[in-house]
Amino acid sequence: MKTVCSQAREYLVAAGDTIERVAQRFEVPTGQLAAVNRVDPVGPLSEGSRLVIPCAPSVASAPTLAVIAEATPNSSAIVPQTIGFSALGLPLEVYRLGNGSARIVFVGGIHGGYEWNTVLLAYSVLDYLTANPASIPPNTTVEIVPAANPDGVVEVVGHPGRFSVAEVAADTRPGRFNGNGVDLNRNWDCHWTPVGLWGKTEVSGGAAPHSEPETQVLSAFLRDPPVQAVIFWHSAVPGVFAGGCEESFAPSTALAQVYAAASGYPYESAFTSYIVTGDSVDWLAAQGVPAIEVE
């Protein structure tokens, strides 16, 4: 990846603008632009409103990958594969593109419908890579889990799978948790506690580390076969954070810095808003897996 803009920009919506027209102007995927701004990709835009224009991905050499002239051939058919099931029995699905030995995994929606835009972002990236297979580096398989918490998605939009912005409920907070009422990003075995924090609010970390079926499925999936990079999409700060449990993990730090430079998001050395326990990328780093959170 390379930086195609120094940082995310703002655009003042003019009369007659549509998401598609603005996306074409700035050469970014329509779905990504809609997801970042939490607007309907086919709905009207309000003249005078402001859109955040994210940096768009492009094909270039990345510090962690050796790029050769010919890109990895894409899969002939992009069909989701079920890797496990949620607390309510909903499938956790992964889409695979490319056929290389290096695994790069993107995960959306661990906070379900509360962070619904990360699910839409995952589908937007899937659509982009499907339409542009040459953007996948050689010897690489990209795997996308759009919704790590399908229970929470259903809580907010009413059904699993793809959805539109118009389907998102006004109150998304109940969608943060799985069907057992557990915050899945407080359930991993790194500084785990039965009660964690979400800002000043106490939330359930589960009965034990990895007590939840989603955590069990993901922890196995993200370790075997070995993964070169794991990116969890969140939505809050913005910022890019490296995983590290007892101490920092250099490969995670390097990955976070590369992602930050490519995306225009700031790299943050630590999350200091409140204490986070049982975090996914911290546990992965402790297992030797480079992992980051993009907020």
Tell me: pLDDT of 5 over 70.
no
**Percent helix, strand, coil in the chain (nearest 5)?**
30, 20, 50
Q: Are 212 and 206 in contact (CB under 8 A)?
A: yes
Categorize the per-residue pLDDT at 168 as very low, low, confident or very high, splitting at 50, 70 and 90: very high
- In order of their start, the domains of the chain are 1-57 (3.10.350.10), 59-294 (3.40.630.10)
What single-letter DSSP state applies at residue 245? S
Categorize the per-residue pLDDT at 25 as very low, low, confident or very high, splitting at 50, 70 and 90: confident
- Residue scoring higher pLDDT (139 or 35): 139
Categorize the per-residue pLDDT at 79 as very low, low, confident or very high, splitting at 50, 70 and 90: confident
CA distances from 12 to 43, 49, 137, 138 (A): 17, 6, 34, 38
> Tens digit of pLDDT for each residue in 237-282?
789 999 999 899 999 999 999 999 999 999 998 888 889 999 999 9
Of 121, 118, 128, 119, give the one whose Cα is nearest residue 97.
128
Strands 229-233 and 102-107: parallel
Per-residue confidence (pLDDT) for residue 42, from 0 to 100: 64
Of 123, 235, 112, 124, give the one whose Cα is nearest residue 169.
112
Tell me: pLDDT of 73 over 50.
no
Per-residue confidence (pLDDT) for residue 52, from 0 to 100: 76
- Residue scoring higher pLDDT (73 or 135): 135
Per-residue confidence (pLDDT) for residue 68, from 0 to 100: 28
What CA–CA distance (Å, rounded) separates 44 from 29? 17
> Tens digit of pLDDT for each residue in 233-246?
999 778 999 999 98
The answer to whether the pTM exceeds 0.85 is no
Q: Where are the alpha helices (DSSP H) in the chain?
A: 19-26, 30-37, 116-131, 150-157, 213-221, 250-263, 280-286
CA distances from 293 to 22, 23, 96, 182 (A): 28, 25, 21, 19
Tell me: pLDDT of 41 over 80.
no
Per-residue confidence (pLDDT) for residue 35, from 0 to 100: 57
Per-residue confidence (pLDDT) for residue 65, from 0 to 100: 31
Stretch 59-85: mean pLDDT: 53
Tell me: pLDDT of 63 over 80.
no
Q: Which residues contact 78 (CB under 8 A, 6 or more apart)?
A: 95, 96, 97, 126, 130
Per-residue confidence (pLDDT) for residue 154, from 0 to 100: 97
Strands 229-233 and 201-204: unpaired
> Tens digit of pLDDT for each residue in 187-203?
999 999 999 999 999 99
Of 215, 190, 147, give the one whose Cα is nearest residue 285.
190
User: Which of these ranges, 41-50, 157-166, 183-192, 271-280, has the smallest mean pLDDT?
Assistant: 41-50
